[in-house]
Structure 1
């Protein structure tokens, strides 16, 4: 049986936390901008930290597992 939980959680978080797709933190002119489809180096860094923080919480603290088979 394969555990697909980490894969599914990582893909969903990657898509949702892509800078500029849903939101960008920090924005180009404001602190938060929504749906602007632009990015910057600092926003990539901030979104990377948020991604790994949420991924760690979901995989280690909560223990999300999806088994197939």
Structure 2
């Protein structure tokens, strides 16, 4: 319970990368649409790949920046 950095990073990325909330890749009519609050199967797949890639990078950065056992 002492290390909340990874949990916070995962929560923020999950909210920001929700398809249709801030942006949607691919959109219904364009490549990128902003704030349309709609989603599709392709956009869920793309956003989950983005989430996976960014969470890996940021969790490694948080782990290296904030060591637990020193």
Q: Which TM class, normalised by the smaller chain length?
A: 0.7 to 0.9
Deviant stretches of 4+, over 6 Å: none
The TM-score, its normalising length taken from structure 1, stands at: 0.87
The TM-score, its normalising length taken from structure 2, stands at: 0.86
Question: Residues 8-61 of structure 1, C-alpha deviation per residue, up to 9 Å, x if partnerless?
Answer: 00000000000000000000110000000000001000000000100000111x
Q: Is 1:42 paired with 2:42? A: yes
Number of aligned residues: 65
Higher strand share: 1
Question: Structure 2 unaligned runs (5+)?
Answer: none
Between 1 and 2, higher relative CO (CA 8 Å, sep ≥ 6) is seen in 1
